[in-house]
């Protein structure tokens, strides 16, 4: 979430910075990354839509009913999405960057600010068409780019705010003699414009239009109708067969007057975002110093003044009812939803402000810990995708995180020279491990027993060993001649492996005090290490893109995987070589074995995460972590139009201004986009190169995480999409399942659905089982069907309303088939059982939250029930 902006779904249009679309419940949309995802009100990701924008999403707008979503990237390429059915309807291009877009209140038109022009398009239908987007009109006259726009309530007028310090009001249809007025009076670029939609019965002077500029000026405009004002518009409507009532409100034939002028208390900052909720008359003003004010209009009385952070607030939005206020900060990846009437938070989420450097799964696979260059450690729930704890005591980038085997504590290493052990019950640091002289730690490892923790230094080339319980420094291992960037304990033997830039991997007997055991020589710098779960194979990745497989006990090389060509791909903007020839600098920096040791994951300085077969030394699959062309190194073919005589256009110095949008995530230099740039590198505008800093595999084997330039990506195995055609027979069909259900044979129906591996059919078979048949069906399941059945129940529990019935299924199955489940191999049963545990825990949390929210209501009903009953019995009969 390094770049973020959002808008409430039942409001219209707003600029988005980022590429992914996240839907929070039915009300909040946020843009993060470049894939389209849906999220509920607890910020849990439900699924990813099968399409994405080519570059960072700049603008989003929703139809009034919320059915159509228009997503526009920074180059003006747009996707029209049916949000309810999650289907891509059309895609087209505006040919230029779109700063703002908004559906009309009647949903028939879309207004888009394309540079200095305002374009109004007819909303396309759901059917297929050669030209779905039809241009209605194009409006000119602005001498600066349009920054914001708004529709009137009758969908006949569009107000625009331009960077030429003026606002204009355009009519949807041509009106004879009407010239768009120019509303001037601001001394800085405009940020927002809003139709006030005043009450017709209100006493004059009433406010019809609001404009706000960056210097904190709010101008209130009123429209004074002259004699016969609006007659031309009424005549035009009569010619089209419309009545006079449809002509109001009309902004033709009169004069715009400045009714009032207010100034925000900016406290030395600039206005960065503003939003207005017409029905309640509330206006929010957000500033570049992280403070926002809430005002009530037309009195312009301050209701609240609060601070979100010290960084610029890039977005602000009201919900449709006006009781929720959403705020976002792009540089911090921060998203807040605040209920201003009760003064409490509805949603608080914040991603890492800089690159994620390391990641680790908890032993139960339910939690991911990440460390980043912003000196913070965060804990994420795998099931919901929400960050629930931020640990911020390090004062330098975090280079390693690792869970203790008990899952009750987490250890993190940082360049600030400390190792910190965190209590995951109270979420506090209970141990701080340091060295006699300050060093920088580049790697971290915890032994399988959880008693010893080791860290490799970046500057002294030593390995330090501590006792976790006492934080006492036990030993210092010194033999490397370069930074120790990789450490890993063997899961089966008391050995520690260390990799260094001195081109060696060393194994150490830490517990007996014998020191070094073996020295494994390499031809290039060692960057990453990984042990196979049985401890009989050690993998090491080097700077030349190769992976070496070693027998750690004998010190013999077992094989080599040539990964240099596999990891290659994508061209940098400053590199004129073809992508196939660009292999220098592309290497693996992180390795992870699968649970059975048959596969090896590798990620590094490339847009790919590679999956290898260890036995055959073959590449099985490459996962492209992003297709976002806003990142450097994604494209294999560079556009020749971006190459100038002075070099790539993206690298030409163009110092950023205060008005520029923050579209790119944190740079590789450790700061937000636009900061910390060196001379001659484009003024900080150079796109960060795409890369994967770390990969981590879940203990369940069902998913793996990749810490990439766009954030932490989670790849999961969709077991339901995999089937064996040899398991099917002629009588195994969906129609046969429906027929067996009607015949009252639930066990056979469940087995047929499991063989088809169709989730909808299995759901139908399970929910069609009578409660008195559940025990018989659970006991009749064969052992081979137990793991799929447990996994299916876990999926059903996540979104079904039949909670009590499904919990009865789970309880009966565990009681009746508990020993059979224990006898299954862990690779088969563990993923299904952990998925079921996560689903049950999630539903438990949902019920607990609902019960807590309704606690006072329940108490009132329980107390009022006996009183009402007593009063009824005591009342005399009529």
Residue 578 buriedness (CB in 10 A; 0-12 / 13-18 / 19+): exposed
pLDDT, one tens digit per residue, over 392-408 is: 999 999 999 999 988 88
pLDDT at 754: 78
Torsion of CA 781, 784, 788, 794, to 10 degrees: 60
Strand pairing partners for 171?
157
Q: Which of 160-169, 248-257, 565-574, 658-667 has the lowest mean pLDDT?
A: 658-667
283 band by pLDDT with thresholds 50, 70 and 90? very high
Encoding tokens for residue 861? 């009903």
Q: Is residue 8's pLDDT more than 50?
A: no
Q: Is residue 6's pLDDT more than 70?
A: no
Mean pLDDT of 791-819: 83
pLDDT at 20: 47
| Nearest Cα to Cα of residue 380 among 22, 693, 29, 1 | 1
Contacts of 775 (CB under 8 A, 6+ apart): 812, 816
* CA atoms of 410 and 383, how far apart (whole Å): 20
Per-range mean pLDDT, top range of 12-16, 364-368, 742-746, 834-838? 364-368
Q: Is 234 strand, coil or helix?
A: helix
Roughly what angle, to the nearest 10 degrees, separates helices 759-767 and 734-742? Answer: 0
DSSP 207: P
pLDDT at 830: 73
Structural domains of the chain, with CATH: 353-478 (2.130.10.10), 563-636+689-718 (no CATH), 732-853 (1.25.40)
Higher pLDDT, 719 or 555: 555
pLDDT at 103: 94
What does the longest C-alpha to C-alpha distance in the chain come to?
A: 102
Terminal C-alpha separation, the chain? 68
Q: Is residue 38's pLDDT more than 50?
A: no
Q: Is residue 299's pLDDT more than 90?
A: no
Q: Cis peptide leading into 830, omega within 30 of 0?
A: no
* CA atoms of 233 and 628, how far apart (whole Å): 47
Q: Is 570 strand, coil or helix?
A: coil
In terms of DSSP H, where are the helices of 13-73? Answer: none
Encoding tokens for residue 562? 């040539």
pLDDT at 369: 94
* CA atoms of 817 and 627, how far apart (whole Å): 46
* CA atoms of 237 and 492, how far apart (whole Å): 84
pLDDT, one tens digit per residue, over 546-578 is: 999 999 888 899 999 998 888 887 777 666 555
135: left (phi over 0), alpha (psi -120 to 50) or beta: beta
Encoding tokens for residue 851? 């019960």
pLDDT at 65: 82
Inter-residue contact 20 to 73 (CB < 8 Å): no
686 band by pLDDT with thresholds 50, 70 and 90? low
247 band by pLDDT with thresholds 50, 70 and 90? very low
What percent of the chain has pLDDT above 90?
36
pLDDT at 488: 95
pLDDT, one tens digit per residue, over 249-271 is: 578 878 899 999 999 988 889 99
| Nearest Cα to Cα of residue 666 among 328, 354, 370, 358 | 354
pLDDT at 294: 93
Q: Is 651 strand, coil or helix?
A: helix
Q: Is residue 533's pLDDT more than 50?
A: yes
pLDDT at 828: 67
pLDDT at 643: 58
Higher pLDDT, 93 or 65: 93
Higher pLDDT, 51 or 414: 414
* CA atoms of 432 and 370, how far apart (whole Å): 19
Q: Is residue 627's pLDDT more than 90?
A: no
Mean pLDDT of 833-860: 81
Mean pLDDT of 464-490: 93
726 band by pLDDT with thresholds 50, 70 and 90? very low
Give, for 791, the enclosing helix (H) or strand (E). Answer: helix 786-799
pLDDT at 415: 94
pLDDT at 220: 93
Higher pLDDT, 7 or 295: 295
* CA atoms of 409 and 390, how far apart (whole Å): 14
CA distances from 208 to 155, 182, 697 (A): 15, 15, 58
pLDDT at 379: 93
* CA atoms of 332 and 309, how far apart (whole Å): 9
* CA atoms of 132 and 150, how far apart (whole Å): 23
692: left (phi over 0), alpha (psi -120 to 50) or beta: beta
pLDDT at 158: 95
466 band by pLDDT with thresholds 50, 70 and 90? very high
133 band by pLDDT with thresholds 50, 70 and 90? confident
* CA atoms of 150 and 51, how far apart (whole Å): 29
pLDDT at 664: 42
Instruction: Write phi, then psi, for 544 (nearest 5 degrees).
Output: -85, 10
pLDDT at 527: 95
pLDDT at 524: 93
678 band by pLDDT with thresholds 50, 70 and 90? very low
- How do the residues of the chain divide into helix, strand and coil, expressed in percent and rounded to 5? 20, 40, 45
| Nearest Cα to Cα of residue 290 among 209, 361, 350 | 350
Higher pLDDT, 861 or 610: 610
pLDDT at 667: 40
Mean pLDDT of 493-515: 88
Q: Is 586 strand, coil or helix?
A: coil
Mean pLDDT of 136-156: 92
| Nearest Cα to Cα of residue 69 among 663, 157, 78, 314 | 78
Q: Is 313 strand, coil or helix?
A: coil
pLDDT, one tens digit per residue, over 81-113 is: 888 777 888 888 999 999 999 999 999 999 999
SS (H, E, C) 815-861: HHCHHHHHHCCHHHHHHHHHHHHHHHHHHHHHHHHHHHHCHHHHHHH
Q: Is 726 strand, coil or helix?
A: helix
Q: Is residue 827's pLDDT more than 70?
A: no
Mean pLDDT of 166-188: 91
pLDDT at 462: 93
What percent of the chain has pLDDT above 70?
79
Q: Is residue 671's pLDDT more than 50?
A: no
pLDDT, one tens digit per residue, over 738-763 is: 888 888 888 888 888 877 777 778 88
Average pLDDT of the chain? 80
pLDDT at 117: 95
DSSP 130: S
* CA atoms of 821 and 520, how far apart (whole Å): 43
pLDDT, one tens digit per residue, over 417-444 is: 999 999 998 899 999 999 999 999 999 9
| Nearest Cα to Cα of residue 169 among 139, 212, 143 | 139
* CA atoms of 25 and 34, how far apart (whole Å): 20
pLDDT, one tens digit per residue, over 769-788 is: 888 888 888 888 887 788 88
Interstrand relation of 117-122 and 109-114 (parallel, antiparallel or unpaired): antiparallel
| Nearest Cα to Cα of residue 340 among 304, 301, 315 | 304
Contacts of 393 (CB under 8 A, 6+ apart): 420, 429
Q: Cis peptide leading into 205, omega within 30 of 0?
A: yes
445: left (phi over 0), alpha (psi -120 to 50) or beta: beta
Q: Is residue 659's pLDDT more than 70?
A: no
183 band by pLDDT with thresholds 50, 70 and 90? very high
157 band by pLDDT with thresholds 50, 70 and 90? very high
Other beta carbons within 10 angstroms of residue 641's beta carbon come to 7
581 band by pLDDT with thresholds 50, 70 and 90? low
């Amino acid at each position: 979430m390094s770049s973020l902006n959002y808008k409430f779904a039942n409001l219209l249009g707003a600029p988005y910075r980022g590429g992914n679309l996240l839907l929070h419940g039915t009300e909040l949309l946020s843009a993060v990354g470049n894939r389209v995802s849906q999220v509920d009100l607890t910020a849990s990701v439900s699924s990813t839509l099968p399409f994405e924008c080519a570059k960072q999403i700049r603008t989003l707008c929703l139809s009034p009913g919320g059915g159509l979503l228009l997503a526009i990237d920074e180059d003006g390429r747009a996707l029209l999405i049916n949000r309810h059915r999650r289907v891509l309807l059309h895609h087209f291009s505006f040919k230029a960057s779109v700063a703002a877009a908004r559906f009309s209140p009647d949903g028939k038109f879309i207004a888009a600010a394309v540079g200095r022009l305002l374009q109004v398009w007819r909303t396309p239908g759901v059917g297929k068409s050669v030209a779905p987007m039809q241009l209605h009109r194009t409006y000119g006259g602005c001498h600066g780019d349009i920054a914001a726009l708004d529709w009137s309530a009758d969908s006949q007028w569009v107000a625009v705010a331009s960077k030429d310090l003026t606002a204009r009001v355009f009519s949807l249809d041509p009106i004879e003699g009407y010239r768009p007025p120019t509303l001037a009076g601001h001394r800085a670029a405009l940020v927002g414009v809003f139709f006030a939609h005043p009450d017709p019965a209100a006493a004059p002077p009433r406010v019809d239009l609001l404009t706000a500029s960056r210097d904190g000026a709010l101008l209130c405009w009123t429209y004074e109708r002259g004699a016969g004002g609006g007659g031309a518009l009424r005549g035009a409507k009569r010619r089209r067969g419309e009545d006079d009532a449809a002509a109001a409100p009309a902004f033709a034939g009169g004069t715009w007057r400045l009714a009032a002028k207010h100034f925000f208390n900016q406290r030395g900052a600039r206005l960065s975002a503003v939003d207005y909720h017409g029905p309640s008359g509330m206006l929010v003003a957000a500033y570049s110093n992280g403070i926002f004010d809430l005002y009530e209009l037309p009195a312009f009385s301050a209701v609240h003044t609060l601070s979100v952070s010290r960084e610029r607030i890039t977005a602000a939005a009201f919900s449709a009812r006006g009781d929720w206020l959403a705020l976002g900060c792009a540089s911090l990846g921060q998203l807040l939803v605040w209920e201003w009437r009760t003064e409490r938070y509805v949603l608080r989420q914040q991603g890492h402000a800089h690159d994620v450097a390391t990641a680790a799964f908890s032993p139960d696979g339910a939690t991911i810990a990440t460390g980043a260059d912003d000196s913070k450690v965060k804990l994420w729930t795998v099931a919901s995708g929400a960050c629930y704890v931020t640990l911020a005591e390090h004062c330098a980038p975090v280079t390693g995180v690792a869970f203790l085997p008990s899952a009750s504590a987490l250890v993190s290493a940082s360049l600030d020279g400390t190792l910190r052990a965190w209590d995951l019950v109270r979420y506090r640091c209970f141990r701080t491990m340091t060295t006699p002289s300050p060093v920088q730690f580049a790697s971290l490892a915890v032994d399988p027993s959880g008693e010893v923790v080791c860290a490799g230094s970046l500057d002294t080339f030593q390995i330090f060993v501590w006792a976790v319980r006492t934080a006492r420094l036990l030993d210092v291992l010194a033999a490397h001649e370069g930074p120790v960037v990789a450490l890993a304990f063997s899961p089966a033997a008391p050995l520690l492996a260390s990799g260094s830039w001195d081109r060696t991997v060393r194994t150490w007997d830490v517990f007996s005090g014998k020191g070094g055991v073996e020295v494994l020589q390499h031809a290039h710098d060692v960057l990453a290490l990984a042990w196979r779960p049985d401890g009989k194979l050690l993998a090491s990745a080097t700077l030349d893109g190769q992976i070496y497989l070693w027998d750690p006990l004998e010190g013999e090389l077992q094989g080599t995987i040539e990964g240099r060509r596999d990891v290659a791909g994508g061209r940098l903007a400053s590199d004129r070589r073809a992508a196939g020839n660009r292999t220098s600098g592309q290497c693996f920096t992180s390795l992870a074995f699968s649970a059975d040791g048959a596969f090896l994951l590798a990620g590094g300085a490339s847009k790919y995460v590679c999956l290898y077969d260890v036995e055959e030394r073959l590449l099985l699959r490459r996962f492209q972590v992003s297709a976002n062309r806003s990142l450097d190194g994604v494209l294999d073919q560079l556009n020749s139009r971006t190459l100038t005589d002075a070099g790539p256009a993206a690298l030409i110095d163009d110092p950023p201004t205060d008005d520029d949008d923050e579209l790119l995530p944190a740079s590789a230099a450790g700061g937000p986009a636009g900061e910390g740039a060196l001379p001659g590198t484009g003024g900080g505008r150079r796109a960060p190169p795409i890369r994967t800093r770390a990969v981590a595999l879940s203990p369940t084997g069902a998913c793996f995480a990749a810490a990439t330039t766009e954030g932490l990506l989670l790849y999961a195995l969709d077991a339901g999409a995999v089937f064996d055609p040899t398991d099917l027979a002629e009588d195994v069909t969906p129609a046969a399942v429906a027929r067996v259900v009607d015949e009252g044979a639930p066990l056979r129906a469940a087995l047929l659905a499991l063989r088809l591996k169709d989730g909808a059919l299995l759901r139908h078979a399970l929910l069609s089982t009578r409660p008195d048949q559940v025990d018989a069906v659970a006991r009749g399941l064969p052992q081979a069907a137990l793991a799929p059945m447990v996994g299916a129940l876990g999926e059903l529990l996540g979104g079904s309303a039949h909670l009590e019935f499904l919990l009865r299924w789970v309880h009966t199955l565990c009681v009746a088939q508990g020993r059979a489940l224990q006898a299954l191999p862990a690779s088969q049963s563990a993923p299904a059982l952990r998925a079921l545990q996560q689903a049950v825990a999630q539903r438990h949390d949902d019920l607990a939250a609902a019960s807590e929210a309704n606690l006072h209501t329940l108490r009132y009903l329980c107390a009022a029930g006996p009183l009402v009953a007593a009063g009824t019995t005591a009342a005399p009969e009529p």
